[in-house]
Structure 1
Amino acid sequence: MGENTYDVVVIGGGPGGYVAAIRARQLGLSVALVEKEHLGGVCLNWGCIPTKALLRTAEIYTAMSHAAAYGLKADNIGFDLDAVVKRSRKIAGQLSSGVRYLMKKNDVTVYNGTARFVSAGDGAAVLHITDNEGGGEEIRGTHTIIATGARARTVPQAGLAPDGDKVWTAKEAMVPDQFPDRLLVVGSGAIGIEFASFYNALGAEVTVVERLDRILPVEDEEVSAFARKSFEGRGMRIHTGANVTGLEKSDAAVTVSLQTKDGDTVTETVDRVIVAIGIIGNTEDIGLEDIGVEVANGHIVVDPYLRTSVEGVYAIGDVVGPPWLAHKASHEGIICVEALAGEEEVHALDVSAIPGCTYCQPQIASIGLTEAKAREEGYDIKVGKFPFQGNGKAIALGEPEGFVKTIFDSVTGELLGAHLVGAEVTELIQGFGIAKTLEATEQELFHTVFPHPTLSEMMHESALDAFDRVIHT
């Protein structure tokens, strides 16, 4: 190929884009990747990884606060906010550098700048690259993968327009200029609840506002109810079925007006507000309208193999819509590349087999159908549940809070869904992920030997409970 001409051009270096680039090189294709900021995207730099670093600090701080329960002494405990943030940023920087190493190792050409389509179709797309110094050049790609990610959704009419000062997005919440003694979080999805949990653990008075009738609305209803009781037990205040109707900022504070589910108006005065009401795809300013790529509801429309409405142009990750998860984006990148390369046995992504994790205290993890959704879809189901307080390892860890819930098709025995809340469930969920991929029934789970003493034994007991064979309750 000629200079600046590639088999594959990837726009965006997040967990979808950089994984797609590596897989394309493994298949012998020439690859260019365009990234305007930091390799690793939001996930490594401002999302998944640095927030987990912050939440780990909160976990350790909570454990220190309960040292006496373990026979330990920890007096006058406290935290250094600058050091907490510095650790988080150092970890993000380390991993971003690691992605740059992977690009070099795999001989991926990296362009630092922004890309815009000049044309597409007729066997190749032409893109104009504007580098970060203002220069520009054109490159060509036989196949072009859009992996531009998404950004926080805002509601300016209610005053929920982040200003970097009093009203934050997740990005500002990760690098606070000061610790907010009073915090209001708008939105109770994974992002909102994780930040609520972090600041609550470090001592802030936290209020969560959710417009739907329950927090964590994508989770099973039992998990949502259990989590709410736990969060409120830790001092959080939660308003569900409520809307933010106005926001007034002063030098000292923010006053937020809420309309409750009963139609009453209440006000909350806080130091900072975090807006976490979802995300919208980054579809602007890349020339999609010029080449005819279909966009609907702020996301690029794709088929099961991530092909857009324009030949040779593909899209993966958050920019194509929910679930907005890094691991979903990575798998879409691999599926997309293998399909365009003509690999055999390429399977479209099964969304029901994608685990979701929320790293609050207690942790939450799920896969597949909720109980309500399974019934709605017409399944005759069997439901099993096992409590953490019945597990020896959980008691030994001092973590007796939570449960494991499993949902099976009563006719075929197929595992339809699993929903967990409690310590380390974000690690346990992958066991159910493998079971879903292998299309396991209750029999495979019954006959699997789970080691003792481990938290994983609850997965076994929950499956047994669904079929009236539970041992330890």
Structure 2
Amino acid sequence: MKDYDLIIIGSGPAGFSSAIRALDFGLNICIVEGSHIGGAGIMNGALTSKTMYELSMDYSVAARTDRGYRSGSLSVDFKEVIKTVIHAAKEKQYQILSQIETFSEEKNGKGSLTLEKGWAKFIDTHTISITNKDSSKRLTAKNFIIATGAKPRKAPGLEIDHKRIINSEDILNLKKFPERMLIIGSGIIGCEFATIFSNFKQTEVHLLDRAKRVLPYEDNDVSEFVSKNLENNGVIIHQTANLRTIKKHPEHLEVILDYEAGNSMVIEVDVALVAIGRVANTDKLGLENAGLKTTERGTLEIADHCCIKETEHQPHIYAAGDVTGHTQLYSVAEFQGRLAAEQIADTPCYPLDYSHMSTLMFFKPELASVGLNEKQLRAHKVPHKVAYYSNKLVNRAIAMRNTNGFVKIIVSNDDQRKILGMRAGGPQASAYIVSVAHLINQGNSLQEVLKIFYPHPSLAEGIQECLRTLSGKSIYKPEAFPDLITFKEWNPEEPE
């Protein structure tokens, strides 16, 4: 049995980032991966879905006829789309493999990386077995990081056959564009795939929304913005509907939906995609052999520095990424993995602050968020002011002929007027949301931020004008454009 300084179970964003950070400290590391190198962050997840999204957006732009030009003969080949998506994933996988091979041998005492293919299971607190189709072996280590990620959540009473009733990991196995598709789940994943397939205009897309609006955790105006854009893109949204059953027929699926109002509807589709979230991959790790317990949700609860809680006797075992139950974002997994490696190396580090995470949602147009929204602030009874500024007034958006978007910023309703949160929709929203994340993290006040010069013409000028609206100094006034600019304030004493 070979002994390592650190064994990392999983090669996704949490696992790989922790391995490279641990390498900085001269540790000898083994990465264990049972499936795709790079995990769901690369294959059947973030990179593949976003590549497919970008291709669909390119197709959508090429199909436009309102810009003075028209494509002569526009067509799309599903097999070629999937081929391009897989090529993108493999490009990143080989970058990861190249780095592992570069550090595969110990050089001048600077540490090393080893990749073991197979499924890991704890034998005891310092030993794991690795099993694959050809062999089985045991490895030991002084420290462990569990970074096994998450898998698609199953729908109760619905069997996934991976052919006609599928989850997100089956998308790349489809042979052609479905003529009709039902997407079960109206969260971020469901809305993203609804956007992708409706962009290509080859599929009639039905989106099942159990609530009264998509993204129900967001403020109503943001949810309605997403919902309206999906419908304008051709998506049929079934709101306040529950799936009763799916009956399989040789050539189609018969879907029965029950609505909150009491009526039912029967629709016919070719493929049903289950997109109701993801659950932690912990069930086959033999955690009990290492004295570890999961939460009721199957996650591993971690302390500030990614040590697993309630494991005083095993302080050498850490967890990072989706398996911890925190927000399932690539950036969070990456940060947690690096933090765990720093803790193992006994290097001074800081606990992560999850309150200022930036989130990107790949819709048409894209949506970005950071900080708190109105619903959260009202729940915590925090006085605040909020302004909404439409891209229809932003010169760069007008020049791009792409004015479908907005900036919405919330500040504290006190003398400090600190920035608390932002939501932005439209082109390049993903690029400039991070600037506001920095402002929130630094605790900047509205007055300080208004001293900044913004380049012209830029979409970021919408941020400037939104901030000016909050201070009553905007160039364009809400009184003149009540449908494009809004301002309001809220205090806990006010009635709902």
* Structure-2-length-normalised TM-score: 0.90
Determine if contact 1:304/1:349 at 8 Å carries over to the other structure: yes
Distance 1:223 1:194 in 2: 15
Distance 1:239 1:469 in 2: 42
Distance 2:382 2:175 in 1: 51
114, 119, 129: which is aligned to 1:114? 119
| Structure 2 unmatched ranges of 5 or more | 104-111, 478-496
Matched residue, 1:397:
400
Distance 2:410 2:344 in 1: 36
Distance 2:417 2:141 in 1: 47
| Structure 1 unmatched ranges of 5 or more | none
Report the alpha carbon displacement of residue 407 of structure 1 after superposing the two structures with TM.
0.7
* 186-195 vs 256-265, which moves further: 256-265
Identity among equivalent pairs (%): 29
> One-letter code of the match for 2:326?
P
Distance 2:173 2:393 in 1: 39
Matched residue, 2:428:
424
Distance 1:396 1:248 in 2: 50
Report the alpha carbon displacement of residue 18 of structure 1 after superposing the two structures with TM.
0.2
Deviations 1:367-405 (A, max 9, x none): 111111112212110112211111111111121101110
- 1:102 matched to 2:103? The reply is no
Deviations 1:413-464 (A, max 9, x none): 2211111111221222111222222222213321222211111111222222
- 1:444 matched to 2:443? The reply is no
- 1:75 matched to 2:72? The reply is yes
> One-letter code of the match for 1:395?
I
Matched residue, 2:43:
45
> One-letter code of the match for 1:70?
R
Report the alpha carbon displacement of residue 165 of structure 1 after superposing the two structures with TM.
1.1
Poorly superposed stretches of 4+, deviation over 3 Å: none
Give SS of 2:43's match: helix
Determine if contact 1:219/1:366 at 8 Å carries over to the other structure: no
Report the alpha carbon displacement of residue 322 of structure 1 after superposing the two structures with TM.
3.2
Determine if contact 1:186/1:273 at 8 Å carries over to the other structure: yes
* 362-371 vs 233-242, which moves further: 233-242
> One-letter code of the match for 1:201?
N
Determine if contact 2:194/2:230 at 8 Å carries over to the other structure: no
Determine if contact 1:384/1:464 at 8 Å carries over to the other structure: no
Matched residue, 1:215:
214
* 20-29 vs 462-471, which moves further: 462-471
Aligned positions of 1:123-138 closer than 5 A: 125-130=126-131, 132-138=132-138
Task: From the superposition, tell whether residues 104 and 433 of structure 1 become closer, same or farther in structure 2 (CA, over 3 Å).
Answer: farther
> One-letter code of the match for 2:220?
E
Distance 1:235 1:463 in 2: 34
Distance 1:48 1:450 in 2: 32
Aligned positions of 1:335-354 closer than 5 A: 335-344=339-348, 346-354=349-357
- 1:470 matched to 2:474? The reply is yes
Distance 1:5 1:25 in 2: 16
Report the alpha carbon displacement of residue 164 of structure 1 after superposing the two structures with TM.
1.3
Deviations 1:277-309 (A, max 9, x none): 011100011111222212111211211211113
Give SS of 1:16's match: helix
> One-letter code of the match for 1:153?
R
Matched residue, 1:370:
373
Matched residue, 2:108:
none
Matched residue, 2:174:
176
Give SS of 2:13's match: coil
Matched residue, 1:358:
361
Determine if contact 1:382/1:467 at 8 Å carries over to the other structure: no
Distance 1:117 1:293 in 2: 10
Aligned positions of 1:303-342 closer than 5 A: 303-308=303-308, 309-310=310-311, 311=314, 312-342=316-346
Determine if contact 2:22/2:341 at 8 Å carries over to the other structure: yes
> One-letter code of the match for 1:335?
L
Task: From the superposition, tell whether residues 197 and 174 of structure 1 become closer, same or farther in structure 2 (CA, over 3 Å).
Answer: farther
Matched residue, 1:408:
411
Give SS of 1:45's match: coil
Distance 1:39 1:436 in 2: 35
Task: From the superposition, tell whether residues 198 and 463 of structure 1 become closer, same or farther in structure 2 (CA, over 3 Å).
Answer: same
Give SS of 1:239's match: strand
Determine if contact 2:163/2:174 at 8 Å carries over to the other structure: no
Aligned positions of 1:157-196 closer than 5 A: 157=157, 159=158, 161-196=159-194
The two structures, once aligned, show a CA RMSD in angstroms of 1.5
Deviations 1:317-365 (A, max 9, x none): 1111131111110001111111222212x22221111111111111111
Matched residue, 1:267:
266
Determine if contact 1:173/1:195 at 8 Å carries over to the other structure: no
Report the alpha carbon displacement of residue 174 of structure 1 after superposing the two structures with TM.
3.4
Distance 2:379 2:428 in 1: 30
Determine if contact 1:256/1:269 at 8 Å carries over to the other structure: yes
Matched residue, 1:30:
28
> One-letter code of the match for 1:75?
G
Matched residue, 1:146:
146
Distance 1:319 1:304 in 2: 15
Report the alpha carbon displacement of residue 48 of structure 1 after superposing the two structures with TM.
1.0
Determine if contact 2:322/2:333 at 8 Å carries over to the other structure: yes
Matched residue, 1:225:
224
Distance 1:136 1:390 in 2: 63
Distance 1:189 1:114 in 2: 31
> One-letter code of the match for 1:82?
K
Report the alpha carbon displacement of residue 241 of structure 1 after superposing the two structures with TM.
2.3
> One-letter code of the match for 2:228?
K
Determine if contact 1:220/1:419 at 8 Å carries over to the other structure: no
